[in-house]
Amino acid sequence: MKKQPEKVWENKGIIYRQGRIYVPDNQEIRDFILHDHHNSPDAGHPGTYRMLESVKRTFWWPTIKTDIRRYVRGCDMCQKNKTIRRPDHIPLNPLPIPDKPWEEISIDMIGPLPKSKEKDAIIVIVDRFSKMIHLVPTTTSLTSMDLAEIYKEEVWRHHGIPKRIISDRGPQFASKFMESLCKALGIERNLSTAYHPQTDGQTERMNQEIETYLRAFINYRQDDWTRWLPMAEFHYNDKTHAATGQTPFFLNYGLHPWKGNITVETTNPTATSLIEELENVREEAKAAMETNNEMMRERGNNKHHKEPFAEGDKVWLETTNIHSNRPTRKLDHKRYGPFEILKQIGDRSYKLKLPDTWAIHDVFHTSLLTKVRDPEFDSQKKPTPPPPDIINEEEEYEVEEIRGHRRRGRGIQFLVHWKGYGNEDDSWIPQSSLENAEEALSEYRAKLPNGKL
């Protein structure tokens, strides 16, 4: 009998445990690994479950699960951008589970968005079995012929013809052309109920995840989102899905993509064993989805209790009813802050310390507030904002970026982002006050059509 490899072994100075690299008790190294698996574009700020699965493919240390939970909890970008899941009060009715990848797909559109390379919308195509997605930039004015072309290029040429397409009752799908195309390809259309997300909730949740990813990486003007779509697609397809317990990549191809980083030592399985393993994994994934569907049906009556706030606490403020200078709310932060609670007003409201430039009432209901989780790792901690320079005996703060402009009377004001400060401290400044920020002004003008204000 062939001797099995030891549980722990050493090779070229690296210790392995069950095929994964053992990371020593060095906080700087562990912090670097956590940052790389959470903050980078191909990581995409995953939650605890997905981040743990991703890190454990390569590394292990005794407190890995606790460290990842603490890291995710303290990420300010996640706290600002992610959708808070509320209990569902409408009974969930999951659709039947397909038998194999790309047998059934769902299609939806995200838009309108700010124009990026002449596109203002995203087509989202999802395999209902493996949860793999394809994201295609498009326009909100696309015709049924355009949608058919996208289907041919992004689904059919990679995955063949699905038996069923699930979508809402939008005009793109309801046209006679699409009906004839579906009939010619032998595809049964099963349109979900309009404005009733429980019928096709997978696509709605997918849209929220894509929007969350883009919020974390796009620029302030929100006009470079097409640049980030390939990374968003890769990020999602490489992360473990809660319903299947596997990544979409693995359920489709039987392996995880190499990302150019550390490769652990593995055996070299035969093609036959790979096929058998993939078939077993798909069976396990289908069983996991069936269990998940049962849990969805039983969910809905759980109550959501918010923890109380106290004077001095730092909180995030929901952006509901707050005007933003950014082009679209869809890709803006979900929450602003952090802000300090000054005092409680009545039973359910709190007064916040807001920036002086915010001309809004400073008392908010508790439903609009979320407690800030402080970062616990050095790579997450932001440096203290720099003190102002003293020029001609006056305080002057450094301009990091100019993000917009507007005319006021006979003059022009610029929206300034200050170095070392958050977006909530952006302020409108007259041109006369920016005499020491010529470089930032020149960079801003260079981004405008013809360089003209």
Per residue in 32-43, pLDDT (tens digit) is 999 999 988 888
What confidence tier does 12 reach under pLDDT thresholds 50, 70, 90? confident
- Tell which of 50, 81, 112 closes a domain: 81
How many Cβ atoms sit within 10 Å of the Cβ of residue 377? 18
Pairing of strands 349-353, 164-166: unpaired
Higher pLDDT: 12 or 253? It is 253
Q: What is the pLDDT of residue 281?
A: 54
- Longest CA–CA span in the chain (Å) reads 88
Angle at 425 between CA 337 and CA 43, to 5 degrees: 55
Please tell me whether residues 265 and 127 are part of one structural domain: yes
Pairwise CA distance, residues 180 & 174, whole Å:
10
Q: Are both 340 and 428 inside the same structural domain? A: no
Give the closest residue to 79 by CA, choosing from 401, 399, 422: 422
CB 402 within 8 A of CB 441: yes
Q: Which of 68-77, 147-156, 267-276 has the lowest mean pLDDT?
A: 267-276
**More confidently predicted of 338 and 302:** 338
**256 and 364 within one domain:** no
- Does residue 77 lie within any of the structural domains? yes
- How many domains are there within the chain? 4
Q: What is the pTM (predicted TM-score) of this model?
A: 0.64
The parent domain of residue 68 ranges over: 8-81
Please indicate, yes or no, whether residues 258 and 368 belong to a single structural domain of this protein.
no
Q: Are 41 and 137 part of one and the same domain?
A: no
The amino acid occupying position 327 is P
Query: Measured between alpha carbons, how far is 292 from 287 in angstroms, rounded to an integer?
Result: 9
Highest mean pLDDT, choosing among 176-190, 272-286, 331-345: 331-345
Q: Has residue 196 got a pLDDT over 80?
A: no
Examine the pLDDT at 416 and tell me if it is beyond 70.
yes
Indicate the pLDDT class of residue 384, thresholds 50, 70 and 90: low
The model's confidence at residue 86, banded by pLDDT at 50, 70 and 90, is: low
**How many C-alpha atoms does 73 have within 13 Å on its Cβ side?**
10
**What are 109's strand-pairing partners?**
123
Contact 226, 137 (CB under 8 A): yes
Helix 27-36 and helix 64-73, axial crossing angle in degrees, nearest 10: 60
pLDDT bin (cut points 50, 70, 90) of residue 118 is: very high
Tokens standing for 443? 């960079």
Average pLDDT over residues 372-391: 71
- Model pLDDT, residue 286: 58
Domain closes at, from 259, 274, 298 = 298
- The answer as to whether 95 is a domain residue is no
Quick one: 226 and 190 in the same domain? yes
> pLDDT tens digit string along 45-68?
888 888 998 898 889 998 999 999
186 and 283 part of one domain = yes
Residues 367, 407, single domain; the answer is no
**End-to-end Cα distance, the chain:** 78
Residue 396: CATH number of its domain:
2.40.50.40
Q: Number of helices (H) and strands (E) in the chain: give both, helices first.
A: 13, 19
Per-residue confidence (pLDDT) for residue 261, from 0 to 100: 57
CB 370 within 8 A of CB 79: yes
Residue 193: what pLDDT? 34
pLDDT in tens, 241-256: 877 888 899 989 888 8
> What local confidence, expressed as pLDDT, does residue 225 receive?
93
> How far is Cα 232 from Cα 209, in angstroms, rounded to an integer?
9
Neighbours of 176 (CB within 10 A): 8
In single-letter form, the type of residue at position 160 comes to G
Of residues 162 and 235, more confidently modeled: 235
* Residue 361 domain flag: yes
What is the average pLDDT value for the chain, to the nearest integer? Answer: 77
Instruction: Give the total residue count for the chain.
Output: 453
The residue-averaged pLDDT of 420-436 equals 80
Q: Tell me: do 251 and 359 sit in the same domain.
A: no
Whether residues 267 and 364 fall in one domain:
no
Same domain, 118 and 231: yes
Structure tokens at 198: 């429980």
What type of residue is 214? L
Whole-number Å distance between alpha carbons of 453 and 435: 17
Domain assignment present for 194: yes
CATH number for the domain that contains residue 34: 1.10.340.70
Rounded Cα–Cα distance for residues 271 and 235 (Å): 27
User: Which ranges of 74-151 does DSSP label H, i.e. alpha helix?
Assistant: 76-81, 144-151
Cis peptide before 385 (omega within 30 of 0): no
Pair (233, 172) in one structural domain: yes
- 11 has pLDDT over 50: yes
Q: Where is mean pLDDT largest: 316-320, 357-361, 385-389?
A: 316-320
Q: Average the pLDDT over each of 70-79, 186-195, 320-329 and give the range with the smallest value.
A: 186-195
Q: Which residues contact 74 (CB under 8 A, 6 or more apart)?
A: 373, 374, 375, 376, 377, 380
pLDDT at 392: 57
pLDDT digit string, tens, across residues 207-225:
888 998 898 888 888 888 9
Distance CA 99, CA 359 (A): 56
